A and B are shown apart, each in its own frame.
Chain A
Amino acid sequence: MSTALPAQLAEIIDDFQDLTEPDRLQLLLDFSRELPELPERLREHPELLEQVVECQSPVFLTLEVGEAPERRVNLFFSAPPEAPTTRGFAGVLMEGLDGLPAEEILAVPDDVPDRLGLTRAITPLRMRGMSAMLGRIKRQIRATAA
């Protein structure tokens, strides 16, 4: 399981790992605050976003894949402020994956959410929500390749 993580994602994981549990939650909260707004073209077209039904709170995502050969991926998330945990997970994926080539995202191991060191503090149900977001990102990327 030594798949190399993209540098920008590995850095986030290291940041989490370096902290005590309460500080990890604080960092997750920071990510939730920094999650960017949807660009206007998507705000007006919510039907273009896919709901991550595995999450306890409403979260929607979509992505755009750039030109070959790199096929860089841009991610877009929408989640309400009353759902800071879900927003935080989205924020981690945004900062960790946005702008990477499709191949690199597809190679990210599925257990990445477990590496944030939050599994004691956050219920398994919620952690699965983050895995589901990653799963849906990968699936959407594969769908654009078809």
Chain B
Amino acid sequence: MPLKTDSSEKFAAYAHPGRLVSTDWLADHLGTDGLVVLESDEDILLYETGHIPGAVKIDWHTELNDEVRRDLVDGEAFARVMSAKGISRDTTVVIYGDKSNWWAAYALWVFELFGHEDVRLLDGGRDKWIAEGRPLTTEATTVRPGDYPVIERNDPRVRAYLGDVLEHFGNPLIDVRSPEEYTGARTHMPAYPEEGAMRGGHIPTAASIPWGRAAAEDGTFRSREELDAIYRGEAGLNDGDDVVAYCRIGERSSHTWFVLTHLLGFDRVRNYDGSWTEWGNAVRVPIVRGPERGEAPARPAEARR
């Protein structure tokens, strides 16, 4: 049985208000039957330093990504991970994490690839919970295993592959990396190590809207009005658009994917998780350097998969 949604006024303005919960809502619902709270962080040890009471850790690297090939887990592995976290198909899952929910949004995106119906983000994530002086614990959470069915992953709806992006020209692309990565001045995030993309720049015609602009200083999502100004105004998106978002490995862009899909209500948004570490290394794909968006290639792109 899904839990009631958070009826905060702020959320009501979003396209899918049921995808967010506030810290107040979560505090009121902790321990409720049918609710599992997951923490998804960039730092693999952060959960152990203290987490929301009753929350279970999920690690994107070892639990949501395939260990051998560059891909997400398959249905069997996902079912195993879910069951171990106490999640069944009808569980309400609330995910929160560090860094404005960056990795929490990535986890939520993976849940949607498997069509998990009721999965929500905690607005403001871990930082807001802590800033409000709410309790953390290092006590291990006891999990009653769930019974999750093996569901085949459904990629095409919300995930784009390299070939899809080559065929996407003429439709809007959003590059959510830093301006320096967009122009090609650097191939990795500021203050992050080099990750081995051979070429710098962006996919032709992509608009540059760094992902963090969707978050306010306290890590919560900006209001509907502010988000509309950024994505409909600045980036020029219109209702009915078919949009692809990308970053470096698809984590930052899952945050933007969440904003476009669930807060602004675009029906056709895909996250290109190959992102720059694939595009910037692929042979013969078109790249634009510098601050201009650039032109779509005249002919269907030459590189094919």
Which positions in A face B, CB cutoff 8 Å?
25-26, 28-29, 32, 53-58, 81-86, 88, 120-123, 125-126, 128-129, 132
With contact pairs A57-B43, A84-B49, A85-B43 given, residues A120 and B192 touching in the complex (Cβ less than 8 Å): no
Q: Give the interface SS of chain B, mostly helix, strand, loop or mixed.
A: loop
Let me know if A81 and B49 touch, CB within 8 A: yes
Contacts of A81 in B (CB 8 A): 49
Pick from A32, A55, A129: contact of B45, CB under 8 Å: A32
Considering the complex, which residues of chain B in the window 234-251 have a beta carbon less than 8 Å from any beta carbon of chain A?
none
Of B42, B48, B194, the contact of A56 (CB 8 Å cutoff): B42
Instruction: Please state if B193 and A125 are interface contacts (CB–CB under 8 Å).
Output: yes
Q: Are B44 and A122 in contact (CB under 8 A)?
A: yes
Are A29 and B48 in contact, with the CB atoms below 8 A?
yes
Whether, in the assembled complex, B32 has its beta carbon less than 8 Å from a beta carbon of chain A, the answer is no
Is B142 engaged at the interface, CB distance under 8 Å to the other chain?
Answer: no
**Residue of B42, B44, B61, B98 ringed by the most chain A CB atoms within 10 A:** B44
- Decide if B302 is an interface residue (CB 8 Å cutoff): no
B46 within 8 A of A: yes
Closest 8 CB pairs of A and B: A84-B45, A54-B193, A85-B45, A85-B43, A29-B45, A123-B61, A29-B48, A84-B49
How many inter-chain residue pairs (CB < 8 Å) link A and B? 52
A residues near B43, Cβ cutoff 8 Å: 56-57, 82-86
Q: How many angstroms from the CA of A55 to the CA of B190 in the assembled complex?
A: 11
Task: Report B-chain residues with C-beta under 8 Å of the C-beta of A126.
Answer: 44
Asked if B44 contacts A132 (CB within 8 A), the reply is no
User: A85 contacts B44, CB within 8 Å?
Assistant: yes
From residue B270, how far is it (CB to closest CB) to chain A in Å?
24
Question: Which B residues between 92 and 109 are near A, CB-CB below 8 angstroms?
Answer: 98
Q: How far is the CA of A58 from the CA of B99 in the complex (A)?
A: 14
**Complex: A93 Cα to B25 Cα, angstroms:** 43
Q: Smallest Cβ distance from B200 to chain A, in angstroms?
A: 18
Which residue from chain B places its CB closest to the CB of A87 in the assembled complex? Answer: B45
Beyond contacts A25-B45, A84-B45: 6 other A-B pairs, Cβ-Cβ < 8 A, are A54-B194, A55-B193, A82-B46, A83-B43, A84-B46, A120-B67
Say yes or no: A56 contacts B193, CB within 8 Å.
yes
Q: Does B191 contact A (CB under 8 A)?
A: yes
Shortest B67–chain A CB gap in Å is 7
A2, B195: Cα distance in complex, Å = 30
Do B44 and A25 touch (CB < 8 A)?
Answer: yes
Q: A66 to B21: give the CA distance in the assembly, Å.
A: 56
30 A–B contacts, CB within 8 A, in A order: A25-B45, A25-B48, A28-B45, A29-B48, A29-B49, A32-B45, A32-B49, A54-B193, A56-B192, A56-B193, A58-B191, A82-B43, A83-B43, A84-B46, A84-B48, A84-B49, A85-B46, A86-B43, A88-B45, A120-B67, A121-B44, A121-B61, A121-B62, A122-B44, A125-B192, A125-B193, A126-B44, A128-B193, A129-B193, A132-B193
Binary A-proximity of B105-120 (CB < 8 A = 1, otherwise 0): 0000000000000000
Alpha-carbon gap, A128 to B194, bound state (A): 10
Contact of B193 with A26 in the complex, beta carbons under 8 Å = no
Give A113 Cβ to nearest chain B Cβ, in Å: 13
Contact B191 A53 (CB under 8 A): yes
Q: Which residues of A contact B98 (CB under 8 A)?
A: 82
Q: Contacts of B46 on A, CB cut-off 8 Å?
A: 82, 84-85
- Alpha-carbon distance between A57 and B44 when the two chains are bound, in angstroms: 12
CB of A46 to closest CB in B, whole Å: 16
Q: In the complex, which residue of chain B has the Cβ closest to the Cβ of A118?
A: B44
Instruction: Please report the C-alpha to C-alpha distance between residue A126 and residue B44 in the assembled complex, in whole angstroms.
Output: 10
Name the A residues within 8 Å of B62 (CB-CB): 120-121
How far apart are A62's CB and chain B's nearest CB, in angstroms?
19
CB nearest to A124 among chain B residues: B195
Determine the chain A residues whose CB is within 8 A of the CB of B44 once the complex forms. 25, 85, 121-122, 126
